[in-house]
């Protein structure tokens, strides 16, 4: 059986799917990962087959996330995204033609994959590390997590977000009709239902220990636990970094991941002042440019990136933007976490970390000051209750077998599809 995985986005949108791909290979499946061309070395490093996805949309996304100079640049960048999205859907179709999968597992940013699966008459499984597509009364859609209007609004908020599919309706219908030869859909189609009327199976690779599974989730929705991709066995850290870690007490990790360069120097200034106030050593990760500093004190080490599974067990606390992947890595290591969210689902994860007692209250970037950050770092490093809650949560997360659970579910989906196909073939005409 061959499985095509399609995913797009920042590194945090790629790593979990590579981890899943490795688990599927171990279970005997053939796996192809279709993602932006820049991630091809990462895919092939982990012995997975790569399928081409144009990198233009990733470059445009990076520009929107911080490298544009103003509203005019942002509008110009956004206007280029529709052609890039159309190209991405064409690449998804070509990958399926080239590799003839028996199942497609797709990130919802890959807009063409569900329709490609329909064309090929194969099952599709949607997956993302965020409970975005399943209405529940327990919490609102994560992008509206700061709005508290009760359980009725919580469930209704998912309908509001579902309307966003309308902005891509025309483009998707063009793809369906002209490229795939499928019938048109309505203006606001339900993209969580397959052509046979059955719901699309959904895998959410986050920890139920961090966010318990709501009782009103239907049976086709699965919270598997995180899909962690550990570093390659032959990876070695820079000797300068090793010497820095050995030269003093565990430092604090500070990094803002894929958040872009706008305001990077100001954030670095605030960060360095906060470290001085709190008296902590630190490792700073520049990422896509979220932190920029030309002069650093001797107790601060800056790097572009480093495998979290290697570094985080050696730090005193982690400070970051609240991306799903970095949040997962810090909690897995059992480390107190300070979240300084920018946008989207980041406030959602920051609030959950605080609710579980594994970190102080999040500090939105709009309210980030040296004094507030220093206070939060001090609490993370010295508050015994926070440290214990973080350690306990780490034990639970490390015990979860997210990839194995996902492989089991995918196997069940394939078996059900095969069973249905055999039944249909055996039915009298």
Calpha distance 27→29 (Å, rounded): 6
pLDDT at 258: 66
Calpha distance 185→166 (Å, rounded): 11
Per-residue pLDDT of the chain (429 residues; tens, 9 = 90+): 999 999 998 888 999 999 999 999 999 999 999 999 999 999 999 999 999 998 777 776 666 555 444 444 444 555 677 888 999 999 999 999 999 999 999 999 999 999 999 999 999 999 999 999 999 999 999 999 888 889 999 999 998 777 766 678 889 999 999 999 999 998 778 889 988 889 999 999 999 999 999 999 999 999 999 999 999 888 999 999 999 999 999 999 999 876 655 678 889 999 999 999 999 999 999 876 567 777 899 999 999 889 999 999 999 999 999 999 999 999 999 999 999 999 889 999 999 999 999 999 999 999 999 999 999 999 999 999 999 999 999 999 999 999 999 999 999 999 988 766 656 666 554
Calpha distance 411→428 (Å, rounded): 28
- DSSP bridge pairs for 4: 32, 104
For residues 330 and 312, the answer to whether their CB atoms sit within 8 Å is yes
Which helix (H) or strand (E) segment holds residue 284: the answer is: strand 282-285
Residue 369 has which token pair? 């000051």
Give the distance from CA 207 to its chain's centroid: 13
Residue 202 has which token pair? 């959904």
Task: Show me where the domains of the chain are located.
Answer: 2-226+400-426, 239-399
Q: In the CATH scheme, what is the homologous superfamily, with its name and number, of domain 2-226+400-426?
A: Glycogen Phosphorylase B; (3.40.50.2000)
164: Cβ–Cβ under 8 A, 6 or more apart, which residues? none
pLDDT at 424: 62
Angle formed by the axes of helices 402-426 and 11-26, nearest 10°:
60
pLDDT at 290: 61
Q: What is the pTM of this model?
A: 0.92
Under DSSP, the state recorded for 232 is P
pLDDT at 100: 97
pLDDT at 391: 98
pLDDT at 271: 95
Q: In the CATH scheme, what is the homologous superfamily, with its name and number, of domain 239-399?
A: Glycogen Phosphorylase B; (3.40.50.2000)
pLDDT at 167: 77
Residue 405 sits at the vertex; the CA angle it makes with 201 and 123, to the nearest 5 degrees, is: 30
pLDDT at 172: 93
Residues in the chain: 429
For residues 56 and 84, the answer to whether their CB atoms sit within 8 Å is yes
Say yes or no: do domains 2-226+400-426 and 239-399 share a fold: yes
Beta strand pairing call for 317-320 and 252-255: parallel
Question: For the chain, what is the radius of gyration of the CA atoms?
Answer: 22
Angle formed by the axes of helices 370-382 and 384-399, nearest 10°:
70
Residue 282 has which token pair? 């630190």
pLDDT at 58: 73
pLDDT at 429: 44
């Amino acid at each position: 059986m061959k499985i095509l995985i399609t995913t797009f986005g920042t590194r945090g949108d790629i790593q979990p799917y590579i981890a899943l791909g490795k688990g599927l290979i171990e279970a005997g499946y053939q796996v192809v990962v279709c993602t932006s061309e820049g991630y091809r070395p990462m895919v092939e490093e982990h012995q997975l087959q790569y399928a081409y996805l144009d990198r233009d949309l990733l470059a445009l996304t990076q520009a929107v996330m911080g490298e544009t100079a103003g509203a005019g640049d942002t509008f110009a960048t956004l206007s280029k995204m529709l052609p890039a999205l159309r190209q991405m859907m064409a690449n998804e179709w070509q990958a399926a033609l080239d590799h003839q999968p028996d199942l497609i597992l797709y990130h919802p940013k890959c807009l063409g994959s569900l329709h490609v699966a329909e064309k090929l008459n194969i099952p599709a499984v949607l997956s993302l590390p965020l409970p975005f597509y399943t209405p529940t009364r327990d919490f609102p859609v994560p992008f509206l997590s700061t709005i508290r209007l009760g359980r009725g609004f919580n469930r209704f908020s998912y309908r509001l977000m579902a309307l966003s599919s309308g902005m891509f309706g025309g483009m998707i219908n063009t793809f369906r009709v002209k490229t795939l030869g499928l019938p048109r859909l309505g203006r606001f189609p339900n993209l969580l239902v397959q052509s046979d009327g059955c719901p699309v199976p959904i895998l959410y690779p986050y920890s139920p220990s961090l966010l318990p599974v709501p009782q009103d989730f239907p049976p086709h929705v699965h919270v598997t636990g995180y899909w962690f991709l550990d570093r390659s066995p032959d990876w070695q850290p820079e000797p300068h970094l090793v010497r820095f870690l050995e030269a003093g007490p565990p430092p604090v990790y500070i990094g803002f991941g894929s958040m872009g360069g706008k305001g990077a120097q100001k954030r670095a200034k605030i960060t360095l002042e906060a470290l001085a106030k709190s008296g902590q050593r630190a490792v700073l990760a520049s990422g896509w440019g979220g932190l920029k500093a030309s002069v650093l004190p001797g107790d601060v080490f800056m790097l572009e990136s480093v495998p979290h599974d290697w570094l985080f067990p050696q730090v005193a606390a982690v400070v970051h933007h609240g991306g799903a992947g970095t949040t997962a890595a810090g909690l897995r290591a059992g480390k107190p976490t300070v979240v300084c969210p920018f946008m989207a689902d980041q406030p959602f994860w920051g609030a959950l970390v605080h609710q579980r007692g594994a970190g102080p209250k999040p500090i939105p970037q709009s309210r980030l000051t040296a004094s507030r950050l220093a206070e939060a770092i001090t609490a993370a490093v010295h508050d015994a209750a926070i440290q214990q809650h973080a350690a306990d949560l780490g034990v639970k997360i490390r015990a979860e077998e997210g990839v194995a659970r996902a492989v089991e579910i995918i196997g069940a989906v394939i078996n059900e599809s095969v069973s249905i196909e055999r039944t249909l073939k055996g039915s009298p005409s």
